[in-house]
Amino acid sequence: MSNEPLKILELFAGVGGFRVGLERANFSLYQTKWANQWEPSKKAQDAFDCYDSHFKDSLNMNEDIASLSEEKLKEINADMIVGGFPCQDYSVARSLSGGKGIQGKKGVLFWEIIRLTKIIQPKYLLLENVDRLLKSPAKQRGRDFAIMLSAFNDLGYTVEWRVINAAEYGGAQRRRRVFIFISKNDTPLAQKLSNIDDDKVIYHDGLFAQEFPVTSDPNKGRRSTGKLVEDIVEISDNFTGNIYSTGIMRNGEYTTIETIPVEEKAVTLKEIIQPESEIDKKYYLDDEAVKKFEYLRGPKKIERTSAEGHKYIFSEGGMSPTDDLNKPGRTMLTSEGSKNRSTHLIEVNGRHRILTPIECERLNGFPDNWTDTMSDRMRYFAMGNALVTTIITRIGSRLEKMM
């Protein structure tokens, strides 16, 4: 018997990376009914307009998530919430009224995810963030993620996570992100895993283990277990511990291991670039621009003056003059397309150029011209913000099998 469709709410939707990936896995199972995308302090809402142009069959909201009322949220009966949320400061403090009330910093969007989870009570959540989340903040490493684990534990959820570099699992971009799968403890999936010990979930039976296999031994023996104290403010103030690239938390206890991926053959830049006949001349560099890139990508030592007035030497190591066409692309940033050190620069038949917007879409696994509702500058920006959709497709396919 086939699974019932999962009604999905996509938050921080961008140009629809989660939806593209999940619908590619199973269009009839993953049905996005609601989506929200809002770019604060910007009059033009390019990402929302792009999303809305592709998906006409869902309720697409262009609103500050914090402004969504409880009454409106109660009308959203989503089975699953997905989204790539911003990396911010997740610390909490006692509310002014004291007691057990807590107060997160204003504008921290993770607490909106928790608010929505309390109201909607989805079966599952699938979230994505930069991998440094697991080690933040620098002065209390692991605290932010421990706060997140505690928040979901308080709501009765099990949390699995894994850092995945898309290129290590067949992707075209060396993009490392942490993917977080959260399941309500009363779902058959969470109950099935509840009888399996943590190591077996991490290495063999969990959502990520089966789709993104790792070697059987921790990297440099790095593994840790812990129990979250019940007071989330105590965690915020005093958490000490290690959070590694893979782990599971249930009933307030967690195991985390620095795992080593079993790598697959990556897609190379050579395989995704367009034929020369399709490339507009505006993407090619003249001699002056080539020289600027040579400087930007080369080693340098520059004397600078700090805000306090003392002088120091800023140094930067060199990188290859152009990106190797026989390797997958480097991590794409929102500044892709501008003349800066992080921009991809390729040489084809003796001519230097940057990547085209279509090639950037391919690095993330989007269909060609997905973002053609925008200017080139915003297309690059959108792809720098996006996730690799092929990873989401594989997660969706595995979740379907596990359900």
pLDDT in tens, 95-126: 665 555 566 777 789 999 999 999 999 999 99
Rounded Cα–Cα distance for residues 289 and 340 (Å): 11
The listed CATH number (3.30.2180.10, 1.10.3720.10, 2.60.200.20, 3.40.50.150) that belongs to domain 6-264+388-402: 3.40.50.150
pLDDT in tens, 290-338: 999 999 999 989 888 888 888 889 888 999 999 999 999 999 999 999 9
pLDDT in tens, 4-23: 899 999 999 999 999 999 99
pLDDT in tens, 383-402: 999 999 999 999 999 999 99
Contacts of 6 (CB under 8 A, 6+ apart): 29, 30, 31, 79, 80, 123, 124
Give yes or no for a contact between 10 and 386, defined as CB atoms under 8 angstroms apart. no
Annotated catalytic residues are 87
Rounded Cα–Cα distance for residues 33 and 383 (Å): 23
Phi-psi region of 268 (alpha: psi -120 to 50; beta: other; left: phi over 0): beta
> What is the residue extent of each domain of the chain?
6-264+388-402, 269-385
CA-nearest of 340, 336, 339, 342 to 362 is 336
Residue with tokens 């075209």: 172
| CATH fold label, 269-385 | DNA Methylase; Chain A, domain 2 (3.90.120)
Following DSSP, what letter does each residue of 257-294 receive, concatenated?
E---B---PPPPHHHHSPPGGG--GGGB--HHHHHHHH
Give yes or no for a contact between 36 and 55, defined as CB atoms under 8 angstroms apart. no
Q: What is the pTM of this model?
A: 0.94
Q: Of all residues in the chain, what percent carry a pLDDT higher than 90?
A: 86
Residue 224 has pLDDT above 90, yes or no: yes
Same fold, 6-264+388-402 and 269-385: no
- What length does the chain have? 403
pLDDT score recorded for residue 96: 61
